[in-house]
Amino acid sequence: MNAEHRILPVPEGLAGERVDAAMARLFGLSRTRAADLINAGQVELDGAAVAKSDRVLPGAILDVTIPVEADPLEVVPEVVEGIKIIHDDDAIVVIDKPVGVAVHPSPGWTGPTVVGHLAGAGFRISTSGASERQGIVQRLDVGTSGVMVICKSEHAYSVLKNAFRQRTVDKTYHALVQGHPDPLEGTIDAPIGRHPKADYKFAVMADGRHSVTHYETLEAHRFASLLEIHLETGRTHQIRVHMAALKHPCVGDLTYGADPTLAKRCGLERQWLHAVRLGFEHPDSGEYVEYESSYPDDLARALEVIRDAH
């Protein structure tokens, strides 16, 4: 681990202060951070270990090792097992994203990322935007699998970013939802905003952002229905929030009210939601292209459990 080593004598003005308070003043740390370093054994006073409540004397030597905290937004090149390359050319790379992989680094996420994989696998992404999001024109939740496109050139980035903004990209998902939506096909037009009581969730909110989801039932079974869903807008958690609002949450989606017993029966540890198709005009050739992803093993097995339940 990288660390910064700092040694300073205690000045007269801090005589009699607690060690954590003296460190906070001398090194510009918070009292909490100073106390954490003391508890971790990273602080010595005149060559001896200290407690945070010990008092300092003028001229005493404070020896502090401060670990350099990793930047949560740094892209760490790392080949991620399970990411499949569906298509690759000079403008774009289309991947099949497995569950458990975030699209890009963010505060609080320490797991694998799509951008980290592409860097580790030697793909050159040369577009504008924040370094951790270079080439990213769409996102899939960590818990959602399927097809997504990343732009490799500046031209492709601007063309496809605009296409997503103008809603000319065809985004098709399959979702296994509890029960049977009524009607069997329809449109959900309900604004989505951050959940008032849990900041990691979203909800249908009167003052939320305009959100439109189109669905049709492909298969109806005793406990659940397989839907094909076309997104008109692309809000965070949009399908999950809209289906939960209809009282038909995605099977396995415990965050949005799914039945844990049914999830367990299906062997699911995440929501049954998969990005199956993505279609758009290729940014270089202008021709319409479409890419597909088949169901991963966990979703395929869960669907068989539902099909076999009578």
Structure tokens that stand for 90 in this block: 């000079």
For residue 84, which amino acid is it?
K
Task: Return the half-sphere exposure (C-beta side, CA atoms, 13 A cut-off) of residue 233.
Answer: 18
How do beta strands 145-151 and 273-281 pair? Answer: parallel
Catalytic-residue membership of 199: no
Catalytic residue among 141, 199, 253, 298: 141
194 to each of 204, 207, 209, how far by Cα in Å? 9, 10, 10
**Separation CA 92–CA 86 (nearest Å):** 11
SS3 297: helix
**Separation CA 112–CA 219 (nearest Å):** 34
Structure tokens that stand for 118 in this block: 């592409």
Q: Which residues are catalytic?
A: 141
